[in-house]
A and B are shown apart, each in its own frame.
Chain A
């Protein structure tokens, strides 16, 4: 649908005019940036230190962190689900659920077969969303997830509670490393999900008298499980 013609050329000509030069259509390179502070920040920390930084930051973003192991993961998650008041649970179709031998009674799975409406209906009805992080950012207490056919965009926002499993080796110092890696993948022609979510704890707002309310439109509470 394009009822009205896009007046792209005239618009961009005018921008170039404002810059006092002819249109630039190629040959623009990013300059060498003056500083590497973003690359250096926390870059020298050991994995153990990063875990500590992540745990400390999660305290500030109202997110529970539970340390578990691949062997104990099923039990940890079962306990967490019970603690959040039980199902319904909706999880992504991430192959790691199978790899770790996880199964949950009566859960639903976000899937390509279910189709848009059904996936959204199940997520809206769910008490708990369960996902695996693609990356975790120590500094900001963030999990990074790409959308895929078996992991939709709304999965992270509709259920009341959010549980993300983080494998140790997925922890990087900060957003710099995750975004740089994804950009490299994109520029090399690799596939990148149509939506990238950086999620740092539960939803919140300070719109009423600057008082923090945890739990607004997205999940009310969040837990990360480290393995």
Chain B
């Protein structure tokens, strides 16, 4: 899977989402439950705003000194006997990983959930080379067995599937004979995947945070698959976006607290692990450790007005409060990064050519900004995107003509007054009971889902009423 998960136009993708009643129900109830859990967990800390400011300050300090901390990390990993590869592009990243796999003559690979490995299309590269790649996160494993169905949520990738669909996938692909109880499905996956962990030659994980002064990576999980992936195979490859780094365990601790509470409302997830290359005398852990640090467009973001987006710790809280995500679902974004943060970073990573609609998939209500544990001004960044898209002339010709006309009318008092006068008679044919009920775009788009009152007659308008009201018209 690449950044892009769907080649169809934005309209077709959103229509699919809006038409999928099950998905919308599932997303709605997931949002409600995650929102409540996050709020409870955040409130329990007392001064949550101070925590957010602390998180923001830690992220901003680290990003402002990113070259320093990355070098410190790399030095420490190498000092401990690990290997570090800096990848400018996704091709360099997946190419290096393939190189390691080939040098080990490995075919059996087990991995845990990682968004950045999706971004660099690692699975495709490894599968094409004839390797078996097993996603061991339960949600991701379900998607993989369903012919690599794309994820729809950063934290709960298989949110769009119900238990019956999952049972059917397991029955068709893995000869599962049990029922659709989640516990039975999970135990079945445990049994199948346990074998895969034990026989894997290479384990590949993401990295929640690199801890620079230790030369270790931090994984935050609940299922235990990340730890088995990293501990059992003789070779461990960790892949990280270059911005995912903290100075020490102390800052990691603060961010892990923010992450767990914001993502799933847990104080800490079941497994928080800090792991580095094995030390002399260790009895398990990988014999060989590789860390792949990925730029793939991030340095451009760092240099841009969108640099705060790199503060993201991938908790998904912004997805859980977004009214647009609620209705169109994760797949409609056409990106492995959905929701508000996806609408900000996908156009930065994948370009406006493919993703210029995403910044418009927002009501700009700002709920995402309010909930972000590291204070990324998400909705303001969406407005910035829109400004860029307009100033680069990327809006459609109909849009441009309309905006030109609106501009003309609004800049001339005479034209404006005339338009107000004509608005009522001209809309009579389109209206019924004081509401406009038909019309061309953009009217049709609006009235498809909302009321649009017919403009009032001139004598009922504010400008005619105000000077004649009781008490006179002095303003």
Other-chain residue from B253, B281, B288 in contact with A179 (beta carbon distance below 8 A): B253
Contacts of B299 in A (CB 8 A): 14-15, 17-18
Complex Cα distance, B284 from A111, in Å, reads 10
The residues in B between 190 and 217 inclusive whose CB is less than 8 angstroms from any CB of A are 190, 193-194, 197-198, 213-214, 216
Q: Which B residues are CB-close (under 8 A) to A202?
A: 270
Contact of B284 (CB < 8 Å), options: A116, A137, A141, A213: A116
Identify which of A81-89, A96-104, A216-224 touches chain B: A216-224
Distance in Å from the Cβ of B202 to the closest Cβ of chain A? 13
Complex: A18 Cα to B243 Cα, angstroms: 13
Cα–Cα distance between A14 and B92 once the two chains are bound (Å): 16
A218 adjacent to B224 (CB under 8 Å): yes
Q: Mark A1-39, 1 if CB is under 8 A from B, else 0.
A: 111101110111111111110011110101101110110
The proximity string for A residues 200-227 relative to B, scoring 1 for CB distances below 8 Å and 0 otherwise, is 1111111111110101111100000000
For A182, give its contact among B30, B34, B249, B300 (CB under 8 Å).
B249
Q: Which of B65-101 contact A (CB under 8 A)?
A: 65-71, 74, 80, 83-88, 95-96, 99-100
Q: A217 to B282, Cβ gap below 8 A?
A: no
Query: Are A207 and B88 interface neighbours, CB within 8 A?
Result: no
A197 contacts B273, CB within 8 Å?
yes
Number of interface residues of A (CB under 8 A): 90
Which chain A residue shows the least CB distance to B143? A207
By a CB distance below 8 angstroms, the chain A residues around B70 are 11-12, 15
Closest to A22 in B: B67
B241 to chain A, nearest CB (A): 12
Closest to B80 in A: A194
Query: How many residues of chain B get a CB closer than 8 Å to chain A's CBs?
Result: 110
Q: Are B65 and A203 in contact (CB under 8 A)?
A: no
Residue on A with the closest CB to B33?
A210
> Is B187 an interface residue, CB under 8 A from the partner?
yes
**Which residues of B have CB within 8 Å of A33?**
54, 57-58
On whether the beta carbons of B232 and A120 are closer than 8 Å, the reply is yes
Q: Does A147 contact B (CB under 8 A)?
A: yes
Q: Which residues of B contact A46 (CB under 8 A)?
A: none
Check A209 against B182 for contact (C-beta < 8 Å). yes
A142 to B300, CA, bound (A): 40
A192–B325 Cα gap in the complex (Å)? 43
Contact of B257 among A175, A215, A216, A218 (CB under 8 A): A175
A183: interface (CB < 8 Å): yes
B283 touches A110 (CB 8 A): yes
Whether A37 contacts B45 by the Cβ 8 Å rule is: yes
Are A199 and B271 in contact (CB-based, < 8 A)? Answer: yes
Nearest residue (CB) in A for B51 is A37
Shortest Cβ distance from A26 into chain B, in angstroms?
A: 8
A window 99-151: CB within 8 A of B:
110-112, 114-116, 119-120, 124, 137, 139-142, 147, 149-150
Shortest beta-carbon distance, A110 to chain B, in Å?
7
Contact B53 A216 (CB under 8 A): no
Q: Are A200 and B67 in contact (CB under 8 A)?
A: no
Does A156 lie at the interface of the complex (its beta carbon under 8 Å from any beta carbon of B)?
yes
Q: Which of B70, B166, B182 has the most CB of A within 10 A?
A: B182
Contact of A216 among B65, B186, B266 (CB under 8 A): B186
CB of B380, distance to nearest CB on chain A (Å): 21
**Interface assignment of B373: CB less than 8 Å from any CB of chain A:** no
Residue B324 CB within 8 A of the other chain: no
CA distance A203 to B249 in the complex (A): 23
Please tell me if the beta carbons of B227 and A218 are within 8 angstroms of each other in the complex.
yes
Q: Which of A12, A216, A219 contacts B71 (CB under 8 A)?
A: A12
Cross-chain pair count, CB within 8 angstroms? 296
Out of B26, B185, B214, B267, name the residue touching A57 (CB < 8 Å): B267
A113 to chain B, nearest CB (A): 9
A180 contacts chain B at the CB level, 8 A cutoff: yes
Partner of A111, one of B183, B248, B283: B283
- Cβ distance A115 to chain B, nearest Cβ, rounded Å: 7
Q: Is A195 an interface residue (CB 8 A)?
A: yes
Q: A152 to B86, Cβ gap below 8 A?
A: no
A142-176 CB contacts (< 8 Å) to partner B? 142, 147, 149-150, 152-154, 156-158, 175-176
B276 at the interface (CB under 8 A from A): yes
Known pairs A8-B84, A57-B267; A157 contacts B228 (CB<8 A): yes
Please state if A15 and B67 are interface contacts (CB–CB under 8 Å): yes
The one of B68, B157, B256 in contact with A25, judged by C-beta atoms closer than 8 angstroms, is B68
A207 touches B137 (CB 8 A): yes
- Whether A80 sits at the interface, judged by CB under 8 Å, is no
Are B269 and A200 closer than 8 Å at their CB atoms?
A: yes
| Cross-chain contact of A41 among B46, B186, B187 (Cβ < 8 A) | B46
Specify which chain B residues have a CB less than 8 angstroms from the CB of A179 in the assembled complex: 249-250, 252-253
The reply to whether the CB of A73 lies closer than 8 angstroms to some CB of chain B is: no
Across the interface, name the chain A residue whose C-beta is closest to B287: A116
* 10 new A-B contacts at CB < 8 Å, known A154-B228, A199-B271: A3-B100, A8-B74, A11-B295, A24-B67, A61-B270, A147-B282, A195-B276, A201-B270, A210-B156, A217-B225
What 3 A-B pairs have minimum CB-CB distances, sorted nearest first?
A218-B224, A207-B139, A11-B86
Binding site for B on A (CB under 8 A): 1-4, 6-8, 10-20, 23-26, 28, 30-31, 33-35, 37-38, 41, 57, 61, 110-112, 114-116, 119-120, 124, 137, 139-142, 147, 149-150, 152-154, 156-158, 175-176, 179-180, 182-183, 186-187, 192-211, 213, 215-219
Give 27 CB contacts A-B under 8 Å.
A3-B100, A7-B86, A8-B86, A11-B293, A18-B303, A19-B66, A30-B247, A35-B50, A37-B54, A38-B254, A119-B284, A150-B283, A179-B249, A180-B253, A194-B277, A194-B278, A194-B285, A196-B275, A203-B271, A206-B156, A206-B222, A208-B142, A210-B30, A213-B186, A215-B186, A215-B187, A216-B189
